[in-house]
Amino acid sequence: MATPDVLPLRADVTFTAGKRETILDTWRQQIDALRSNVRYNAEVVGIKKDAGSFTIRIGDGSTIQAENVVLGIGLQGNLNKLKCEGAELPHVQYQLDDPDEYEAEKIVVIGAGDAGIENAIALSKKNGVVIVNRSSEFSRVKQGNLAAITEAIKKGQIQCYFSAETNKIEEKTLILQTADGAARIACDRVIARLGAAAPRKFVEACGVVFPNADRSSLPEVSATYESNVPGLYIIGALGGYPLIKQAINQGYEVIEYILGNRIPPADQPLLEQLFSGLRPASVEDVLAEIRDIIPVWHSLNPLQLREAMLDSDCHVLAAGATVFRRNDYTSSFFSILRGTVRIQIDADDPSKIVTLGPGAFFGEMGLISGRRRSATVLAASDCVLFETPRRTMLKLIQSVDSVRRTLDQVAIMRQVQMHLAPGIPASELKELVETAEIQKFLAGETIFMQGDKGDHMHLIRSGSCTVSMRVGGRDVVLSYVPSGNYIGEMALLSDMPRAATVKAAHNTETICIKGDVFKRLLDRNPALKSDVEAMFLQRIKANEQMQKQPEAGNIIEFLLAQGVGEGTDVLLIDESLCVHCDNCEKACAETHGGISRLDREAGPTFATLHVPTSCRHCEHPHCMSDCPPNAIHRSPGGEVYIDDSCIGCGNCERNCPYNVIQLASPPEETFNIFSWLLWGKGPAPGEAMAYGKKGETDDKAGHADKAKRAVKCDMCKDISGGAACVRACPTGAAWRVSPEEFMSLATLTG
């Protein structure tokens, strides 16, 4: 509760992390000691300014006169509610006053923000609790709550449904839509903590103006927290800062401002350090410049902007400096304050350049899709960039509608220009982008069916799809299509019904483009039309070839069932070449200090194609979802690896659907005859214990007393020559494959 940790506390009352009851009791004692004038049980029903002073009307009919008013009322009086059938049933509630009131119930908490997590943990002491997270990770919460919910899930105290949406609520039952289909959960109570919107009717009645009609919008306030009504100040959640420490600091600062003391905000020294390379501009000047120039930040009020900037890095780059390179696996978001950058959109043609200037942003495609950077970005001139972490951007996207809409609009244009219509100016694409729609599909969900009317097409924004056709009374998979490609254009160009069925291989987002708008674009751009028609002919030939080789389609289906579709690099073994020498496992163990990250024998086999137990390096790694010390990373080369900060909590092992992570103790020191004979170092003959195979107990392996850590394949990222398992295979049976290589692999094997 006492975050952000970096902020000093400005108050005459203390505030440290602890239980709610302890904190409230401490505040009561200190408020009494300070002899503060508090009116309890006094509901404010109206605030009106007249002749320079405010009249505050109380519900009992009395009034209070004031020269200044500070609104610290928060948002909880206007709670967001579920929008599904059953949302108003008696056992559904939207706040929790006292978790100790409930005992021996099965309770579902919907919402993965701080409030939802705190409620779930408190309720789990006396009840069975399920928490529902519509995202794949807890991206909007304070670090302390993240660690707490992770620990509770690990211990089985709370069950969590990730990537789940509420579909319907019935008496004693909640129905969720998950990535694996519908899930029915028996429950006595549903507590939905979905945040809240400003009590707009009351606030506007006080004369305060909102910037727009969005339900999620907040009042504009000045740098001193003053609203458009002189003398009426807004602090806390209503001003965009929902954290308690921030609200306490703002309250302190407001009183100082009213008294005429122009003290700097508590975060001023931190922002001064961040903007130190931009001198002589002041913090206020830089923040004003950011809001004025960069549209994605424009909708944030000054308080929200300060918080976003504190999470970001400021880069002052010289012309020619590299921001990131094509195929890097980084996911941060960049916005341009000054200067220009040059985006090399075609690795084979350096002349294809997109130049972005002040106010533009880039990097959102890696943020959305999770795949490698699709272009190299260089500083075209001296420039100033802000790099914002993925976690911060996801929090803003989920909590600030205007940020999400701005990102979506620009991202659609950017993705259409890059993957569908390269070289076409934005002015030519305006109609297409404005009529496009972002659609989401769960794993296995049909995007369109064979025989359907083809009046639209899709650009795959994230995820991937399979294309199948009905042949000989059964569905045959023809191809796998990853993000960055388009589907559905064949029916548009041929004016025929859909020739194939397309389904989401796993959770997928697409940009749905209207067919008539796309056709008009082609008519205006003959070169683009020629490129699309060439792709059309290429796909017809590929489909015909696949229809002649149904075995290849079976292989694609098999690989997708093993999660290869969401992987970026998968180890496969050709059993017709494998001689079971186990050199691959031995090489892996020797490369990684005696612990093999590979189990050759485990895993499924189709015909002669074997998928051993080894990391797939997923584009959205499940193992990263709940790692308390943030020990799991993705290197610039794409390898997902675990660093030495691992605490052995086992969350990654449980979250991985492919059983490729294990908790292991460090291997025993092996016997070395020279060290033992000459210096007496190391174990004596017969004392050395070899690391046990997966499934053996720690006692059997001989290292029960050593701390366990998570281990998994890291693709030998720090070793030249590539993966040791592949290099050690004497017959060439082992090789690494990416999803984009499926077709050549399937054709070869077929």
CATH number at residue 152: 3.50.50.60
User: 617 and 744: one domain?
Assistant: yes
For 258-272, give the DSSP string.
HTT--PPPTTHHHHH
The answer to whether residue 14 sits within a structural domain is no
Q: What token pair was written down for 711?
A: 């281990």
Distance between CA atoms of 430 and 410, rounded to whole angstroms? 11
The parent domain of residue 585 ranges over: 560-666+707-749
The answer to whether residue 682 sits within a structural domain is no
Decide: 521 and 489 in contact? Cβ < 8 Å.
no
Helix axis angle for 401-415 and 390-399, nearest 10°, is: 110
User: 238 and 297: one domain?
Assistant: no
CB neighbourhood size of 199 (10 A): 17
* Domain CATH for 598: 3.30.70.20
Peptide bond into 4 cis (omega under 30): yes
Decide: 134 and 165 in contact? Cβ < 8 Å.
yes
Q: What token pair was written down for 148?
A: 């707490």
pLDDT of residue 241: 77
* Domain CATH for 505: 2.60.120.10
The answer to whether residue 81 sits within a structural domain is no
Segment 295-348, tens digit of pLDDT:
889 878 777 788 889 889 999 999 999 999 887 777 789 999 999 999 887 777
Distance between CA atoms of 98 and 218, rounded to whole angstroms? 29
**Residues contacting 139, CB < 8 A, separation 6+:** 391, 394, 395, 398
User: 107 and 249: one domain?
Assistant: no
User: 209 and 324: one domain?
Assistant: no
Peptide bond into 99 cis (omega under 30): no
User: 636 and 620: one domain?
Assistant: yes
Name the band, by pLDDT with cuts 50, 70 and 90, for residue 677.
low
The answer to whether residue 591 sits within a structural domain is yes
Name the band, by pLDDT with cuts 50, 70 and 90, for residue 377.
very high
Rounded to the nearest 5 degrees, what angle is found at the Cα of 388, between the Cα atoms of 385 and 390? 145
If 0-12 CB within 10 Å is exposed, 13-18 middle and 19+ buried, where does residue 707 land? Answer: exposed
From 365, 389, 406, give the residue that closes a domain: 406
Name the band, by pLDDT with cuts 50, 70 and 90, for residue 373.
confident
User: 135 and 217: one domain?
Assistant: no
The answer to whether residue 720 sits within a structural domain is yes
Does position 694 have pLDDT exceeding 60, yes or no?
Answer: no
User: 616 and 712: one domain?
Assistant: yes
Q: Tell me, what amino acid is at 530?
A: S
Does position 713 have pLDDT exceeding 70, yes or no?
Answer: yes
User: 580 and 726: one domain?
Assistant: yes
If 0-12 CB within 10 Å is exposed, 13-18 middle and 19+ buried, where does residue 547 land? Answer: middle
The answer to whether residue 356 sits within a structural domain is yes
Name the band, by pLDDT with cuts 50, 70 and 90, for residue 690.
very low
User: What mean pLDDT do residues 276-284 have?
Assistant: 85
3-state helix, strand, coil in the chain (%, to 5): 30, 25, 45
pLDDT of residue 697: 39
Least Cα distance to 610 among 575, 585, 579 occurs for 575
Q: Helix or strand or coil: residue 558?
A: helix
From 237, 266, 295, give the residue that closes a domain: 266
Decide: 165 and 176 in contact? Cβ < 8 Å.
yes
The number of angstroms, rounded, from the C-alpha of 161 to the middle of its chain's C-alpha atoms is 16
Does position 53 have pLDDT exceeding 90, yes or no?
Answer: yes
Does position 45 have pLDDT exceeding 70, yes or no?
Answer: yes
Decide: 716 and 703 in contact? Cβ < 8 Å.
no
Does position 359 have pLDDT exceeding 50, yes or no?
Answer: yes
Name the band, by pLDDT with cuts 50, 70 and 90, for residue 693.
very low
For the chain, the average pLDDT equals 82
pLDDT of residue 689: 37
The answer to whether residue 353 sits within a structural domain is yes
Q: In the chain, what percentage of residues exceed pLDDT 90?
A: 29
pLDDT of residue 1: 66
Domain count, the chain: 5
User: 484 and 566: one domain?
Assistant: no
Highest mean pLDDT (candidates 315-324, 458-467, 476-485): 315-324
User: What are the phi and psi torsion angles at 249 (to 5°)?
Assistant: -60, -40
The answer to whether residue 424 sits within a structural domain is no
Does position 222 have pLDDT exceeding 90, yes or no?
Answer: no
CB neighbourhood size of 463 (10 A): 25
User: 612 and 734: one domain?
Assistant: yes
User: 487 and 601: one domain?
Assistant: no
Decide: 239 and 307 in contact? Cβ < 8 Å.
no
CB neighbourhood size of 32 (10 A): 10
Does position 240 have pLDDT exceeding 90, yes or no?
Answer: no
If 0-12 CB within 10 Å is exposed, 13-18 middle and 19+ buried, where does residue 504 land? Answer: buried
Does position 260 have pLDDT exceeding 90, yes or no?
Answer: yes
User: 522 and 594: one domain?
Assistant: no
pTM: 0.56
From 548, 581, 616, give the residue that closes a domain: 548
Does position 61 have pLDDT exceeding 90, yes or no?
Answer: yes
Does position 123 have pLDDT exceeding 50, yes or no?
Answer: yes
**Residues contacting 743, CB < 8 A, separation 6+:** 479, 480, 542
